[in-house]
Amino acid sequence: MNEGEQPARRASDRGRYGRLSRERVLASALQLVDEEGLSALSMRRLGSALGVEAMALYRYAPSKDALLDGLVEALYLELEEKLTPAAEEEPDWRERLHRAAGAMYEVCLAHPQAVPLLATRMLAVPLARRPSAVLRDHERVLTLLRAAGFDEPSTAALFRAYSAWLLGYVSVEVQPMVDNPDESDPAFRLGLHHLSPRELPTLRESAPALAERGGPEGLAEGLDALLDRFGRPS
C-alpha cells in the first residue's frame, strides 16, 4: 500500500503513550524530524515511534502530504504560543512585525530540519487549503498592515515582501555549512579543501563568514531596511 492511500481497515490507535490525538501525532512527527531529518519521516517510522500500526495514523493524517502539512501547522502553532496577547497589544505596527519575525526565527532555529517545508508545502498547497494556523498568521499580518493605514495594494506588496524576507532569511540561517563537525581546524571543519581556489576563490574566502549566522540582529536590520523602503502608510 502506498503511503498516500487510505487503508481499508481500522487499526488501534492506542500506543505506548495511550490513545493518540492529532496533537500527539504531530508532536511526535516533529520530534522525529528534529532528530533524524525529513527523509526519516514515514507513516511506518512514525507509527513505530508511537507504538501503533502505521494504518492507525491515517485517522489523523490521511496521507504523507497531509502529515507534512501538519508539521507546518505545528510550527505555526508554536509561533502563536510565542505571540502572547500582551505582545499583540503593542501599538506600534513596526514593533509588532519585528516581534512576529523574531518569534518565527526562534521557532525555525528550534526545528531547522522542518524549515524547508515552509517553502515546499506553501508551493504545493493553494492558499485556501493551507493549515488554519498558517491562515491565521496571514490574517494577523494583513490586518496589522491595514490597521496601520496601508491601502490594499500597499498591504499586499508589503505582506509579500515581509513574508519573502522572513522565509529567505531563516532558510539561509539554518542551511548546513559544516562539512566535518569533529574537525578542530576551521578550514577542514568547513571543508574548504573541497572548494577549488582557482574556480571558486571568492566563495572559498567568504565561506568562514558565511558560516556565521546573522542572528536576530541581522533579521531586524533587514526588516527595518525593507520597511523603510515602503515608508509610512498614507
Number of domains in the chain: 2
Taking only the tens place, the pLDDT of each residue in 49-88 is 998 999 989 989 999 999 999 999 999 999 999 997 655 5
Distance of CA 103 to the CA centre of its chain: 11
Please check whether residue 1 lies inside any domain of the structure: no
Which DSSP letter does residue 220 get? H
Q: Is the same domain home to 55 and 97?
A: no
- Residue-range definition of the domain harbouring residue 176: 64-230
Q: What is the pLDDT of residue 186?
A: 87
Q: Are 162 and 141 in contact (CB under 8 A)?
A: yes
CA 52, distance to chain mean position in Å, is: 27
41, 33 Cβ separation under 8 angstroms: yes
What's the CATH code of the domain at 27? 1.10.10
What was the pLDDT predicted at 151?
A: 95
pLDDT score for 14: 56
Task: Looking at the structure, tell me whether residues 101 and 31 fall in a common domain.
Answer: no
The pLDDT, as a whole number, for residue 20 is 87
pLDDT at 8: 41
On whether both 142 and 37 belong to a single domain, the answer is no
The reply to whether 157 and 129 lie within a common domain is yes
Q: Same domain for 91 and 203?
A: yes
pLDDT reported for residue 9: 43
Residues 77 and 167 in one domain: yes
Q: Looking at residue 223, which CATH number applies to its domain?
A: 1.10.357.10
| pLDDT value, residue 18 | 56
Write out residues in the chain with pLDDT < 70, as ranges: 1-18, 85-90, 234
